[in-house]
Structure 1
Amino acid sequence: MTGRIVSLNTSAKKGVRKKPVKEVVMKTEYGIEGDGHASSEWHRQVSLLALESIKKMQDKGLDVKPGDFAENITTEGIDLPALPVGTQMILGDGVKAEVTQIGKVCHTKCAIYYQAGDCANCHPDIFNIKKKTTVHFSMSRILKSEFCGVCHLKIAFPLDDCGR
């Protein structure tokens, strides 16, 4: 699968939209130098989001652009949710990366939440009633990728039931 990088985005702290930048410095087992999410303490140093996902939100009337969902790398032409955990990829000029998690856990209501009105607008496929589950989940199970995600700590879905 081949795609392209359309935007590189960083922010000095967590919880804010990232701003597009011309270049970044990737540090092994750390992430993007100067980015608020970079850390050698966890498995998700860099996040990716497809431009196609951003366009879906724009089609719903949201004023969003690359970086607004706090992704470091905005891609085009790659079905990111279809990549299984463990997928190896080459980014840009030979940076090796591995998919360690699909989706992310929202710990607080983000800026997009307030613009969209609720999580169902941000993640409409997740909030399809047919996909809800009563399976018990915990942060440790989510971090082990047993679930595809939880939005604002309200619901989670087993990997085989999230349509990704």
Structure 2
Amino acid sequence: MSGIVAAVSSNAEYSFTKPNRDSIMLLAGLGVEGDVHAGVTVKHRSRVAQDPTQPNLRQVHLIHEELFAEVSAEGFKVMSGDLGENITTRDIDLLGLPVGTLLRIGDHAVLEVTGLRNPCLQIDHFQDGLLKQVVGRDEAGNVVRRAGIMSIVKQSGAVRPGDTIKAKLPSGPHRPLDRV
């Protein structure tokens, strides 16, 4: 399973969106160099309020570019970085990956998938009604989250648009993604 990096984004300040960059540097055990969410312990405000000593399983946020086309069909305009992701991907089924999948990006960087992004009401502040587009329910009534995945950095390296992404699944049995 493989894909392509469509865009990279980071922001040193707390903001819902992140500006696109020519490249980002992933730092093992920390996240995106200079990004407000980088660190060994949680940095997302809601998580810090719960317990600031929790490990940061949300160092790098990836989202699939195909989602933007889906929400566009419903009248929403979303571009890379708008939903706060660090890496926008193309042609890889992020939501179908199991926990523990390793993503080799470019020549050196390696991420380990930790779970699903649990989107919050800030998405509706960005564009009213968008939250319902990225969080819904399946036929059985289970919550379905489509706002990307979270990961930790296992191996440092630069990431640029156009870099390849190669997924290495963990040995089974596979655990499906859940919110982190």
Q: TM-score, normalised by structure 1?
A: 0.72
Give the 3 Å change call, closer, same or farther, for CA 120–128 of structure 1 in structure 2: farther
Q: Which residue of 1 aligns with 2:34?
A: 34
Report the Cα offset of residue 53 of structure 1. Answer: 1.1
- For the residues of structure 1 that align with 2:34 and 2:21, how far apart are their CA atoms? 12
TM-superposition CA deviations, 1:93-127 (whole Å, max 9, x none): 220111111x2224x521x313132622332xx23
Q: 1:131 is paired with a residue of what secondary structure?
A: coil
Q: Do structure 1's residue 104 and structure 2's residue 134 form an aligned pair?
A: no
* Aligned twin of 1:18: 18
Question: Which residue of 2 is the match for residue 81 of structure 1?
Answer: 95
Contact 2:61/2:117, CA 8 A, preserved across alignment? no
Moved more, 11-20 or 27-36: 11-20
2:98/2:176 contact within 8 Å kept: no
Q: CA RMSD in A?
A: 2.3
Percent identity between the two aligned chains: 31
CA contact 1:10–1:20 (8 Å) conserved in 2: yes
Pair 1:147–1:82, CA change in 2 (3 A): closer
Give 2:98's aligned amino acid: P
User: Hey, which of these two has a bigger chunk of strand by percent?
Assistant: 2
Number of aligned residues: 134
Task: Label 1:147 to 1:100 Cα distance change in 2 as closer, same or farther (>3 A).
Answer: closer
Structure with a larger share of its residues in helix: 1
For residues 19-63 of structure 1, the C-alpha deviation after alignment (integer angstroms, 9 at most, x for no partner) is 110011211100111111111111221010000112111121111
| One-letter code aligned to 1:120 | K
Q: Is the 8 A contact 1:7 1:73 kept in 2?
A: yes
Contact 2:39–2:59 (Cα < 8 Å) also in 1 = yes
Q: Residue 74 of structure 2 is aligned with which of 60, 71, 74?
A: 60
Q: Which moved more, 1:67-76 or 1:34-43?
A: 34-43
Structure with larger RCO (C-alpha < 8 A, sep 6+): 2
TM-score by length of structure 2 reads: 0.66
Could you tell me which residue of structure 1 aligns to residue 178 of structure 2?
Answer: 148
- Please give the secondary structure, in 1, of the residue aligned with 2:89: strand
Q: 1:80 to 1:149 in 2, by over 3 A?
A: same
**Secondary structure at the residue paired with 1:54?**
helix
